[in-house]
Amino acid sequence: MDPAATPSPQTDAAMRVFVVEDSPVIRERLLAMLAGIDDTKAVGVAATAGEAIEGIVAARPDVVVLDLRLAEGSSGIEVLRALRAKDLAVEAIDVYLLTNFAEAPYRRVAERLGVQGFFDKSTEFERVRDVLAARARAIRVDRMH
């Protein structure tokens, strides 16, 4: 297969990831990390809750990496609530929160809203990579069968 060709989501076994991060530096770091994980491709990025909701609904990713504090005063919690309200099958999308605000109250709210993982940017960035790599392998195996 021509590596430049873009397979359709139905035939592509790659894990589709949407990145929601307002910091250009962190966003680029996340995209570089994703590029280094086999069977993974970024399908969208957003810096605000509005952009994220619209992009996630359109892209229907397998995974969302979501920051808690976003541009224009919006938040990742808004994104989670809006996706639930839109009746988007949030259960079918793995959401991993990656934030500098990793305190227990934020973790509890995020868990109630269905996130699969909650990570502190300053201490757990590499752990996110490991979790995403494992998830990509599981998705590939699942789609191959």
Q: What is the pLDDT averaged over residues 31-43?
A: 96
Position 66 confidence tier, pLDDT thresholds 50, 70, 90: very high
For residue 2, the model assigns a pLDDT of 38
Distances (CA, A) of 65 to 8, 18, 57, 120, 128: 22, 6, 15, 12, 9
Position 54 confidence tier, pLDDT thresholds 50, 70, 90: very high
Partnered with residue 104 across adjacent β-strands are none
Q: In what order do the strands lie in the sheet with 94-99?
A: 40-46, 15-20, 63-66, 94-99, 117-120
Say what the pTM is: 0.87
Choice between 144 and 100, residue whose per-residue pLDDT is larger:
100
Identity of the highest mean pLDDT range in 22-31, 76-85, 99-108, 134-143: 22-31
Rounded to whole angstroms, how far apart are CA atoms 117 and 130? 12
Rounded to whole angstroms, how far apart are CA atoms 126 and 128? 5
For residue 3, the model assigns a pLDDT of 40
What structural domains does the chain harbor?
15-139 (3.40.50.2300)
For residue 142, the model assigns a pLDDT of 84
